[in-house]
Amino acid sequence: MHRVRVWDGPMRLFHWSLTLTVVGLIVTGNVGGLWMEWHLWLGYFVLSLLLFRVFWGLVGGHWARFASFIYAPTSLWAYLRGRSPALHRVGHTPLGALSVFALLLVLLLQVFSGLLTDDAIFYSGPWVAWASPEWVDRASDYHDEVGKLLLIALVVLHLLALLYYKLVKREALVSAMLTGDKLLPEPVPASRDGGLPWALAAGCYAVAAGLTYALVNWPLV
């Protein structure tokens, strides 16, 4: 067996930061009231994390790059039939890749609809002032009803998938995302880790945070 660094440090930090923040968003959004101020700031943080993930999907470790888990439909079909090559089971599998892209898309829609959401009591998004009432109503309805349910459903599916891999397929996906390493029957390309990737990740997050600030504040300029 070969121990391979699959998930680099910045990727692991992103994953667990996003996990905790999404839980915080779900809790504060359902509690409401004065907790909506925290909900607002957590939403901004999620936006910065999502933008970072886009950058890291281009320049990050080998298995974090989008190029490593953009699969053709035939690859997905082969995976579902148990006939995919070993390389398709190292990082994000073809089915896992669909889950990742679905979650990123739903989170982006939830964040941007949140910028246009107004509950007329505790919370008003920074884009509400310049948007038409029709768009604010549409965004509010999506954010509070459709988007929230989609996000919760994807989170539940993700947890069920982790249980399935742990109990049925005997693959410890959670521990791999904690340590970064997987034990594999054959050598595969490893993700870069160490000082240089962390420096690159810090630069990517700085740009992501700057873009988040600009997106949140540009209607007020």
Q: Is the pLDDT of residue 6 over 90?
A: yes
pLDDT digits (tens, 9 = 90+) for 50-91: 999 999 999 999 999 999 999 999 999 999 888 888 889 899
Question: Helix/strand/coil (H, E, C) string of 70-112?
Answer: CCCHHHHHHHHCCCCCHHHHCCCCHHHHHHHHHHHHHHHHHHH
Contact partners, residue 35, CB within 8 Å, separation at least 6: 27, 28
Q: What is the average pLDDT across 199-217?
A: 96
Per DSSP, the three-state class of 4 is strand
pLDDT of residue 220: 60
Q: Is the pLDDT of residue 221 over 60?
A: no
pLDDT of residue 124: 85
pLDDT of residue 89: 87
Q: What is the pTM of this model?
A: 0.93
Question: One-letter amino acid identity for 191?
Answer: S
Token readout for 193 is 């880790």
Give the chain's length.
Answer: 221
pLDDT digits (tens, 9 = 90+) for 136-171: 999 999 999 999 999 999 999 999 988 988 888 888
Alpha helices in the chain (DSSP H): 9-31, 36-59, 73-80, 94-115, 133-141, 147-167, 173-179, 195-217
Q: How far apart are CA 61 and CA 115, in angstroms?
A: 31
Q: Is the pLDDT of residue 121 over 80?
A: no
Q: Is the pLDDT of residue 116 over 70?
A: yes
